[in-house]
Structure 1
Amino acid sequence: MDGKTIRMSRILESGRAVIVPMDHGVSEGPIEGLTDMGRMVSLVEKGGASAVLLHKGVVKSLSTAPKCGIIVHMSAGTKLGMDKNRKVIVSSVEQAVRLGADAISVHVNIGGCDTEPDMLCDLGEIADECDATGMPLLAMTYARGKNAAGTPEEIAHVARVGGELGADIVKCPYTGDIRSMRLVTDGCPAPVVIAGGPKCENDYEVLKMVEDAMAAGAIGISLGRNIFQHARPDLMTAALRAVIIDGISAKQASSILRGYVKESAVGHLTVAMH
């Protein structure tokens, strides 16, 4: 066992990921669901999240240490900026170690952004530093820019970039169907988790997307809005966890959102399904 393996075990469960990213405050401000960060971290932790993904200032602001894994996000850019696709490095692996992080994440946009070379350089250098310090690296890779349409082939390409440059886990959008998502997971040398994208109105749609992504070889999720903007973030996390870790169907997991909840001995949600 080495440090990276031990830390990976803290952000994954049985090799699978139920990651809830809540880094949106930098890019978008205090949006719905992310005003009381301590409360939201507690809710998704109760639902069984394997890790939460936060900026360093939020980690420092928490009054109680999360019982799940902590991923510190090192990239930033705002919707008010001249180039919304540009991400700059705003922290360090050393700072993440000081904060007690179990992993770090870096965001890279590929597809026509003028600063794409800088983001690729940052990713490669940080991957080397993570290897040197035993810190797992999650690369968020997106096909965005004037040359990108977000096709399955482009998603497979950018995921491959993340894996080739040294990420331990690669995050990318779901392609839309199992067959095309296989292009992504088969072609990436690192395990893949899917992003959630915009908030969906239909819970089953989210659960089915995740079920299909797992069938296509993904190891789990890094879903934000569809969890923290849900009416019951704890139950939505529990339902997604049931699909990813317990292997139940999206249809079965939907009943969790109609069930009743009690505390289990380990602090996760136990749901009686009707």
Structure 2
Amino acid sequence: MHIGKAIRLERIFDRNTKRAIIVPMDHGVSVGPIDGIVNMKEAVGKVVEGGANAVVEHKGLVRCGHRAEGKDIGLIVHLSASTSLSPFPNAKCLVASVEDAIRLGADAVSIHVNLGDETERRMLHDMGKVASDAANWGMPLLAMVYARGPKVKSEFDPETVAHCARVGTELGADVVKVPYTGDKASFEHVCDSCCIPVVIAGGPKLDSTEAFLRMVHDSLEAGGAGLSVGRNVFQHENPTRLVQSLNMIVHEDASVAEALAHLNG
């Protein structure tokens, strides 16, 4: 591996556990300034205090979330976007480049691809280009790959998720983000199908924090490398304490019960 890429990955994945707690905060483009990410310095500060490894932000938001004090955190600049106002919300297009991310001091870049969408070919083309550019610069690439389109019966189907993960791997990503398949056995198949780290998405905000912690715990036991979860973290009533509990599970191999006990304090 390119030494620059290896160094940058170590700013996102813990050197000892090889796992990561990533908190995406790129939702503003898709759905606007929702609760939890209105004040970006405050939002980033809360997850930093809890011990998150990295955040994901669009290029223009980096200046809003930069705190210029306190502990550091890994920065992943997101390169693709669409809005919920569009008649084609699943059609992502490039809105930034690897070079933009380098100028912003990023440790990695990310891109979103929706397999099954009518514009899939465009998104795959974009990912291929970004992967090549990222490789040239020694910049890690996180691919967020989901199945969303007319032919997709369920984006959580294990074989469909495995297909998504494999696409990210084969097109040059260094890390792939996919939905959790619902049980350890099927998610183990997803992880075994890749030679790169697999992190889980959070999806819509869950009603039960215990269910969220259980999902993270089980994904790790299946071979996952951590999580890349936004709303279920930054919209929690106490994001800092939640991230501390996630740290217990992800980096300290604590049980769900132990993490929940800490959270409820």
Q: TM-score range by the shorter chain?
A: over 0.9
Equivalent residue of 1:44, what SS? helix
Give the 3 Å change call, closer, same or farther, for CA 63–153 of structure 1 in structure 2: closer
1:56 positional shift = 0.8
Superposition TM-score, scaled by structure 1 size: 0.92
2:262 maps to which of 230, 245, 256: 256
Contact 2:76 2:109 in 1 (8 A): yes
For the 8 Å contact 1:27–1:79, the answer to whether it is kept is: yes
What residue is the counterpart of 1:216 in the other structure? Answer: 222
Q: 2:88 is matched by which residue type in structure 1? A: D
Q: What is the aligned partner in structure 2 of residue 262 from structure 1? A: none
CA–CA distance in structure 2, aligned partners of residues 237 and 229 of structure 1: 12
Distance apart, 1:63 and its partner CA: 4.5
Q: Are residues 1:73 and 2:78 paired? A: yes
TM-score by length of 2: 0.95
Query: Which residue number corresponds to residue 124 of structure 2?
Result: 120
Deviations along 1:1-56, one digit per CA (max 9) or x if unpaired, are: 71000000001113111000010000000111111111010000000000011111
Q: Is the 8 A contact 2:175 2:199 kept in 1?
A: yes
Distance 1:253 1:63 in 2: 29
Question: In the alignment, which of 181, 191, 200 is matched to residue 194 of structure 1?
Answer: 200
**1:64 aligned to 2:67?**
yes
Kindly tell me the number of residue pairs found equivalent between the two proteins.
Answer: 258
Is 1:152–1:180's contact at 8 Å kept on the other side of the alignment?
A: yes
Conserved 8 A contact 2:144-2:178: yes
Measured in 1, the distance between the counterparts of 2:21 and 2:258 equals: 18
How is 1:94-105 mapped onto 2 (pairs within 5 angstroms)? 94-105=99-110
**Cα distance, 1:61 vs structure 2:** 2.3
**2:133 paired with 1:129:** yes
Give the Å deviation of 1:129: 0.8
The verdict on how the C-alpha distance between 1:116 and 1:17 changes in structure 2, with shifts beyond 3 A counting, is: same
How many angstroms does 1:190 deviate by?
1.5
- Alpha-carbon distance between aligned partners in 1 of 2:66 and 2:19, rounded to the nearest angstrom: 28
Instruction: Structure 1: give runs of 5+ residues left out of the alignment.
Output: 260-274
Counterpart pick for 1:184 among 187, 190, 196 = 190
Residue identity (%): 51
Once the 2 structures are TM-superposed, how far is the Cα of residue 60 of structure 1 from its aligned partner?
2.0
Indicate conservation of the 8 Å contact 2:118/2:149, yes or no: no
1:20 is paired with a residue of what secondary structure? Answer: strand
Which of 115, 118, 138 is the aligned partner of 1:110?
Answer: 115
Cα distance in structure 2, aligned partners of 1:116 and 1:45? 35
* Root-mean-square deviation (Å): 1.0
Alpha-carbon distance in 1 for matches of 2:134, 2:205: 32
Alignment match, 1:243: 249
Is it true that 1:21 corresponds to 2:28 in the alignment?
no
CA distance in 2, matches of 1:46, 1:196: 21
Instruction: Give the gaps of 5 or more residues in structure 2.
Output: none
TM superposition shift of 1:139: 0.1
User: Residue in 2 aligned with 1:90?
Assistant: 95
2:188 and 2:31 map into 1 onto residues whose CA distance is 32
- Equivalent residue number for residue 52 of structure 2: 49
Structure 2: which amino acid aligns with 1:91? A
Contact 1:164–1:189 (CA under 8 A) maintained in structure 2: no
Deviations 1:148-174 (A, max 9, x none): 122111000011000000000000000
In 2, Cα distance between equivalents of 1:147 and 1:237: 36
